[in-house]
Structure formats: structure tokens, C-alpha cells
Structure 1
Amino acid sequence: MAVAVALVAVAASAVAAHAQRGAKAAPKQAPKPAVKAPPRDRAAARAHAVELLTASPLVDGHNDLPWTIRQQKGMERDVDAYDLRKKTPHQTDLARVRSGKLGGQFWSVYIPGDIKDSGFARVQLEQIDIARRMIAKYPETFVAANTAADMRAAFKQHKVGSMLGMEGGHAIENSLGALRAYYDLGVRYMTLTHNVTLDWADAANDAAKHGGLTNFGREVVREMNRLGMLVDLSHVSPAVMSHALDISEAPVMYSHSSARAIVDHPRNVPDSILTRLPKNGGVVMVNFYPVFDSPSLRAHGLARDRQQVALRQRLGADTAAVNRELRAWDAANVAPRATLADVANMIDHIRNVASADNVGIGSDYDGVDDELPIGLEDLSNYPDLFAELILRGWNDTDLKKLAGENILRALEKAEQVAKRLQRERGPSTKTIEELDGKPRIHP
């Protein structure tokens, strides 16, 4: 019996050995890559931010440098005199572009809304000319871009893809033909209004006249979709925001706005609008303008306004006395400073209410008259903002979306929509007189 058991065991062992020799060897599994721990201190977080922005483009939605060039005393509109190769008195020059890791820029070709007698179109064309000459002057740094693909190609060449954004529909002078001409000159977004309500759209900081967009205003949005020009809803009333989202077939953008739930300022975006952005694909590019980002600074400004009203009521037409007492109030009530953390709070809020796909950066550098937030004084501070978000737990995927992927995706979608719409219909020939019943002014 013992012999039989032994023979069975030997046979089983032989069969197993034969099977093992005949079977394919199991492939060796590659070792899992080590998971890089998130930085825990600010210096390491900033180094990681620089690394990330070197690999993925940071596209800023709004910089007013062309207007800065126009306004320089004694050298107005002189692109050559405002030398970006040297340190400038404002926030933007080539050294800070490089150190801040700027990867793409929408240059605002802003013109004021109160220069009608001078001719909106004339001044707008001058601003486009200034911006285009500025871009061409520094070919080692800037390259003109007309598409999202152009922006990506520029970044691969270590240059800043440069697009133009018009800040206010007043510049089209109620003409869809003018809108198309601006597109042909390189304008890739238009803010529907600036601070003045137009014949066809209500501004956030002016009295509403239309309850949003008029019929002509709606046609402006449709024609922008057909062109592939992004509809910018910074500066407009909430009703205009809502109407534009109802109409637009392409993602909208806010080139430089923040969240109204945190700072109740007319220029900021209500949560009721933020919740609609995921469906539309739009992007709110967070502004660095201090009063839009700091609750304490906003409260201080409102208190100062109330004090000024009270002084005028008490002192009447004695302007000197009003100003003297207001200066005394200012000395006793020093305005707080906005901070980088305030801006990060705005970004967090928009991500939480909309999504990580609906937030970007729209600094408003060179367009801020007040002191900028502590820690965001100029372009060189972009990595500091990303470092703060890294320390708050943001992952690289969402940081890349914030930096530029969101706005580039929105632009790509707008281009796709435009191709379809151009197959379906030609340029609109409708007029404000026809759509809104205005008296006909031009033949």
C-alpha cells in the first residue's frame, strides 16, 4: 500500500512538472510608478506650479496693455516708445511674461463707452492697430493667433499666442457688418457691453433699459456664434447673461469676472448663472481687480460711499468741506488690501458651484487702477496663485484646466459651431431698425 501511494505521488509530480514546462511563463508585472506626494510647503508648491505651467499653457483672458500704451503721457499710441524689453511702470513686460510663465493672452482692445462724438469705430480700429503692432514688435515672445490650434502651436514654440478681445459692443455702432470686419482683423471675443447700457444690451453698472438683450442684441449673439467669436459676458447685467445662455450655441466666456456670492458686486457672476455653465461649457476667468475679490474691501467701499452721501447732505454745495472731511474719514478708516487668498477663494467657489471645467484666469493686468491683491502684484505672480491652489489640494488635471485648457476647449467648440453654422446660413443682414423698431438713420 505504501509503495502504491508513493508511485501515485511520483506520477502526480511528473504531470505537474510537464504542465509547468508546457505553460507560458506569466508576464512580469511592471512596478507601479511611485505616486508623487503633493507639496506641503509653499516653496515646493511654487516649484511644482512652475513645472506645471512650463508643460501646460496659462492663457489669461484679459490684459489692458494696449490701452496703457495709448495713454502714456507725451507718447500716446507710440508702441516703440513703450519698451517691453525694459521694466515698465505697470504690470506687464517681457521679463515678467517669462517669469510668470504666461503661455497665451487675450489682449483687450478696450475703448471707453463715452467717446461717441469721437467715433467708436475710429478709436477701436486704432486700438486694434496698437495691439497688432505691439505683438509684431516682439516676435521672440509674441505671435498672433487666430485659432485655438494657433495658440497651442505658439506654446510649443515657447511663445505667447496672442488674440484680441473687444471690450464693449458699443464699438460695432449697431452694425453686424462692423462686427464681421472686427473678426477679420483678429478679434476673437467681444464683451457685449462695457459700463454703459447700449441700444441693444444692459450693462451691469448702468441703468437697465431693455430687461436684457433686445431682438437685435440676440442677433448679435447669433452672428458671433456664426463667426466663431466668443460671447464675453463680463460687464453685462444678469438678464443679459441669462438671455445669452438661452441663445448661444457655443460656450460663452467671462474674460475678467468673479463670483457674486462671495462679493456682492454688479460686475460679478451670480450662482444662478454659474450653475448653468456646465451645460453650456462656458468659462469664468477670475479677475484680480481687488474690489471684486475682497469682501472686506467691498464693505469698506460701501461704507465710504455712505459717508460721502451723508457729508453732501450735511454740507451741501461746500465741496471743499466735503472733500476735507472725507479725507479725514479715509485716514481714520484705512482700506484693507485684497490678497492672493481672496482670489483663490473665488476660484474655489466657481469650481464648487459650476465645475473645474468652467473656471479660468482673467487677471485684468494693466487695467487695474487700485492696488492689486497682495501676492498678485504683476504677471510674475501667476505661479504663486497656482502654488496656493496646490496647497489647497488641487490636482494637476484641474490646475491645467484652470490655466488654459478650459478656455482653449471653449474656443475649439466655438470654432466647430461656427463651421456648422456657416454651412447652414450666410452673414446676417438684419438691422437694429428692422429688429427693434428704431428709426432708420443710415440708408
Structure 2
Amino acid sequence: MTYTVDSGHLERARALLAGHPVVDGHNDLPWALREQSGYDLDACDIAIDQTGRLHTDLARLREGGVGAQFWSVYVPAELGGGHAVSATLEQIDCVRALAARYPDHLRIALTADDVEAAWADGRIASLMGAEGGHSIDNSLATLRALYALGVRYMTLTHNDNVPWADSATDEPAANGLTRFGEEVVREMNRLGMLVDLSHVAPDTMRDALRVSRAPVIFSHSSSRAVCDHPRNIPDDVLTSLAANGGVAMATFVPKFVLPEAIEWTKAADEHVEAAGFHRFDTSPEATKVRTEFETANPRPVATPATVADHLDHMREVAGIDHLGIGGDFDGTPFTPDGLSDVAAYPNLIAELLGRGWSEPDLAKLTWGNAVRVLRAAEDTARDLSRTEAPSIATIEQLDG
């Protein structure tokens, strides 16, 4: 199956992205570089076409109309404790190394003004998001250190619970946020670090929305009403998100957007794990095993139309001011047909144009909403810093 796009809509999409580029909420290139080359940027040079190896390289970022990227500084929850902290620091170091190596293309951004200035200078603004509260090892001082190093959002959990917050894909333990979890959210607000609710359980979403004094984000999640996967956002949460002022960044991962792909992906993951690889392994050896499974068991295929179905519903529930895009490229082994890599964003915009989305609305989706929320978090932090000192609370004090 090959997705085809209307040439007229595609031309309009490319023109729109030239003025209102994509701010993508989540790309796992740093972890892919760790897995594939041990951060050796000569061995995996994204100035060279990496098609077939990575979803991301510089030329395809340009082709896709990407103006700003939140690079995920993800580490697996299995690391835990100090190992998770040090691995997160290595991920941050990788992003900074990429920006230093490719200064004509990438520029580290810490603020909304930085994002706008980078794009005005022809650079792709490079922000960082930590994927999972295990990266702070139950320490608010470590949270502050990550912020000082440039991390501008933290996903409260990854696939496993943390001691203070429940994950969407683990058994409930805290029933949302604990008292310390609420303190984490408040400290993130005080710092100006965006609270990311992708990966968290619905009760954690609701607790965070209740506690947060700044807009929150979902860096890479779609609609649970359209595809009933626990990683997606229930409608009541989307409604609350609008009241909060936050942004839900629709993801492209097939098992999150296409109901038929849920069981197929589970079987594919089990096949890869039976061969001795982690289900997120992107090495050539793991990819070969996965490809063999797909050859024998053709996968259900998502397309830009599948993702557009989610965005249509999310717009109806939350409103156009609360939508964005978070592809999760290089963090998923499978991608939709027509959204295979970072060059493909114009296909999604063309699909939405064909559905009657206006260019001003699309400009909010791609650029405006994400920049607004980043600036709102900064404004909240500026106000809170006048009256609040850094929290010295510990998990033992609050949850002991």
C-alpha cells in the first residue's frame, strides 16, 4: 500500500510550513544514536542521508518543514536511580553535541524567544524533554539541575510507574499523583518546565491538571475515543486541557492511532523480545528480526488520514488552540504509510487541507500553539519566582 497525496494540497502545505514550521513535541534521535553508534556522530552522521537507518537527518528535517524540535532525552525506566540520572545527562550531552556539530542547522533553545530567533536565523530550534520522572530519582534538586541544563519538559512517567505517579501502562499504585508528585508539578511550574502528560494514567492526568498553575502538554499522544489505547487521551481530559490552556500533540505511532495495529504490534514486540532484543531496540539486528516478522505477518497500515481522524476529533473536543504535533520519530519501529520520517509532515498538512482546515488553524497546529504554551510556562514561572522559594521537600517527608 502506498499513500498518495493531492499535489495541489501538498504544494499549499509546503508553502504554509515555510512560514509556520512544525514544532514537534517528541523525537528520540538521541537514544537511537546511543543504541546505534554509542554517540559516535562520525559513525552516524545526520548530515548524511540516514534513510533506512534513522527517521531523522538534517536534510529530511528541512524537507519536512521542521522549525523546532523537542529532542527526547529518554532513558529506560529499567536503569533506575543514579543510573537513570547519569544516562539522562549523557542524553543531554548528545543533544548539545549535535547542536555544536551542526551549527548551521541546529541551535539550542531555552525560551519561546529563542525558538523564534533560531527560526528567523534559519536554524532549527533544539529543545529538550526528559521522558519519565525516573530521570530525577525522586529529587527536586535533580529536577532543577535538569532545567539548568536546558530540559524544558518532563514526562511524569514512561511505561512504568514512578513512586509518585502512575503510568498508563502499569498497574495503578498511587491512583494518580502522590503528595510528592503534586510537589513535583508545582516545582516544575515554578521553574518554567512544562508538565508533560503523555505516558501517564488518566488519574495522573487529572491530578496534574488540577494542581498545575501553568498550561501542560501531551508531547506525543492522540485520542482515546478514536483509538482505545491507554497511551491516548480521554475526552474528559481533553476538555480539561482546554480550560488549562495546554496543548495535546498528536502522535503518529500506528498502535496508538489505528485500532487494528494494537494486537499486531503486541505480537511483533513479543517476537522481537523472544529473539533476545528489547522491543524498542533500533539496532540493525533487531530491525532484521522485526522485518522478518512483518514479512510473514503483514501489518495493518496507518496513513496521514488516520492521524487526521484523531486531530479532527481532538479539535472538536479541545478546540484548535490546544492541538500540536508530536511524531515520536526514531522512538517507534513502525510508522504510518505517508508519515515514514521527518520529511513527511507536509503529507499530514495536505490531508488536513483536503478536509477543509484553514491555513490560520493549521498555523496554530504546527507552530503557534506550542510556542504560546512554552511562553505561558515562562510567564507563570516569572510570577511564581517572586513569591516562592525552591522546594526542599523530599518524598520521605510527603509520602513516607
1:265-414 pair list within 5 angstroms:
265-298=229-262, 300=264, 334-370=298-334, 372-414=335-377
Within 5 Å, give how 1:9-408 maps onto structure 2.
Answer: 42-72=6-36, 75-88=37-50, 89-116=53-80, 119-298=83-262, 300=264, 334-370=298-334, 372-408=335-371
Q: Aligned partners of 2:387 and 2:81: how far apart in 1?
A: 38
RMSD of aligned Cα (Å):
2.0
- Identical positions, percent: 51
CA distance in 2, matches of 1:336, 1:198: 33
Residues 207-238 of structure 1, C-alpha deviation per residue, up to 9 Å, x if partnerless? 11010000000000000000000000000000
- 5+ residue gaps in structure 1? 1-40, 309-328, 438-443
Q: The residue matched to 2:386 in structure 1 has which SS?
A: helix
1:8-39 Cα distance to aligned partner (Å, 9 max, x none): xxxxxxxxxxxxxxxxxxxxxxxxxxxxxxxx
Contact 2:81–2:137 (CA under 8 A) maintained in structure 1:
no
CA contact (8 A) 1:294 1:339 kept: no
| In 2, Cα distance between equivalents of 1:330 and 1:162 | 34
Q: Which of structures 1 and 2 has the larger relative contact order (alpha carbons within 8 angstroms, sep 6+)?
A: 2
Residues in 2 aligned to 1:221 and 1:177: alpha-carbon distance in whole angstroms: 14
Q: Which residue of 2 aligns with 1:35?
A: none
Distance 2:38 2:263 in 1: 36
TM-score, scaled relative to structure 1: 0.81
Cα separation, 2, equivalents of 1:100 and 1:358: 22
Q: Which residue of 1 aligns with 2:288?
A: none
Relative to the length of structure 2, the TM-score reads 0.90
Residue 301 of structure 1 deviates from its aligned partner by 5.3
User: Per-residue deviation at 1:47?
Assistant: 0.8
Distance 1:294 1:199 in 2: 31
Q: Deviations over 1:346-380 (max 9, x none)?
A: 1111111110011100000111112x101001111
The aligned length equals: 374
- The answer to whether the 8 A contact 1:57-1:405 is kept is no
Deviation at 1:56, TM superposition (A): 1.4
| Counterparts of 1:279 and 1:62, CA distance in 2 | 23
1:300-322: per-residue Cα shift (whole Å, max 9, x none)? 557x69x99xxxxxxxxxxxxxx
Whether the aligned pair in 2 keeps the contact of 1:66 and 1:108 (CA below 8 Å) is yes
State the distance in 2 between where 1:48 and 1:277 align. 30
| 1:435 paired residue number | 398
Q: Unaligned stretches of 5+ in structure 2?
A: 272-292
Q: Residue 269 of structure 1: SS of its match in structure 2?
A: coil
Give the drift of 1:332.
8.3
Do 2:80 and 2:137's aligned partners in 1 also have CA atoms closer than 8 Å? no
**Which residue type is aligned with residue 207 of structure 1?**
E
Q: Is the 8 A contact 2:349 2:362 kept in 1?
A: yes
Q: 1:246 to 1:92 in 2, by over 3 A?
A: same
How far apart are 1:153 and its partner, in Å?
Answer: 0.8
**How far does residue 404 in structure 1 lie from its aligned partner after superposition?**
1.4
SS in 2 for 1:59: strand
Task: Indicate if the aligned counterparts of 2:261 and 2:299 stay in contact, CA closer than 8 A.
Answer: yes
Q: CA deviation at 1:80?
A: 3.2
Match of 1:411, as an amino acid?
A: L
Question: Helix, strand or coil for the counterpart of 1:174?
Answer: coil
- The alpha-carbon distance between structure 1 residues 384 and 423, as it changes in their structure 2 partners (threshold 3 A), is same
